[in-house]
Amino acid sequence: MPKFAANLTMLFNEVPFLERFALAREAGFDAVEFLFPYAFPAAEIRRRLDAYRLALVLHNLPAGDWDGGERGIACLPDRRAEFRAGVAQAIEYARALGVPQLNCLAGKAPPGVDASVLRATLVDNLKFAAAELGKAGLKLLVEPINRHDIPGFYLNGSAQTLAVLDALGAANAYLQYDIYHMQRMEGELAATMQRHLARIAHIQLADNPGRNEPGTGEINYPFLFAWLDRIGYGGWIGCEYKPATTTAAGLGWRRRMTA
């Protein structure tokens, strides 16, 4: 049976962030994830995790000026010091919140910078992050994102991301596989997840088109959930989708598709 984590950045967004933990528990989730905790004291988040008996399964490293349109800084040659400071901040939060893994967003490729420089910067930054996270007993995840939603994002496919992880050579570095993003970029969802199962530490979902809940688009989620059970995926599946109406109204897919 798949294990689903509510993505609190996107779900229950009808209410302020710190109120979403209670709603996730009321909806039957045992775990949550979100993009960033840094706007709140770790103790405030920890109190809610404990009060509602929720595991936190994932959050991201700091990713630059998110509200200003940045989507990560790991590939940016002029932001190395900021990236390393962000790794330290993320580890501090991870220790306080009990999260076992942190995701790194590579960022958008800046114009005019040679591709080899971007790749070398990314690999060097990821080596640093993997080493620091390893000292703390944490996994480092790296996520490819489709270029339609985020034009210019440096990592767009599973093979490209795995090649970066090969160059990294860190035992605690894994692929974060987002079904929605990879449907838009490459398809072959079931075969790709099976082929790289040992290198996938976390999966996220949304349907396509629209990035709404499963059952609203073209992806055969009942098949994929059964497939992931069949091939032995034991990790969490983060529900990182935009509710088509309200979060509560769209949650029936879990019962229908996993019965």
**88: burial class by Cβ within 10 Å (0-12, 13-18, 19+)?**
exposed
Question: Which residues, other chains included, contact 69 with Cβ-Cβ below 8 Å and sequence gap of 6+?
Answer: none
The two tokens of residue 206 are 């949304």
Residue 143 known to be catalytic: yes
What are 138's two structure tokens? Answer: 């944490």
**Which residues neighbour 195 within 8 Å (Cβ) at sequence distance 6 or greater?**
none
Number of H helices, E strands in the chain: 9, 8
User: Cα(169)–Cα(124) distance, rounded to whole angstroms?
Assistant: 11
Give the torsion through C-alpha atoms of 212, 217, 220, 222, to 10 deg.
Answer: 50
Taking Cα atoms as reference points, which of 86, 161, 62, 85 lies closest to residue 119? 161
Choosing from 26, 33, 70, 143, the catalytic residue is 143
- Cα distances from 168 to residues 60, 182, 215, 223, in angstroms, run 19, 22, 37, 33
**Which residue in 44, 70, 132, 240 is the catalytic one?**
240
Q: Is the CB of residue 103 less than 8 Å from the CB of residue 141?
A: yes
Tokens of 47: 């109190």
SS3 (DSSP) at 235: coil
Give the number of other Cβ atoms within 10 Å of residue 252's Cβ: 11
> Which residues are part of the catalytic machinery?
143, 240
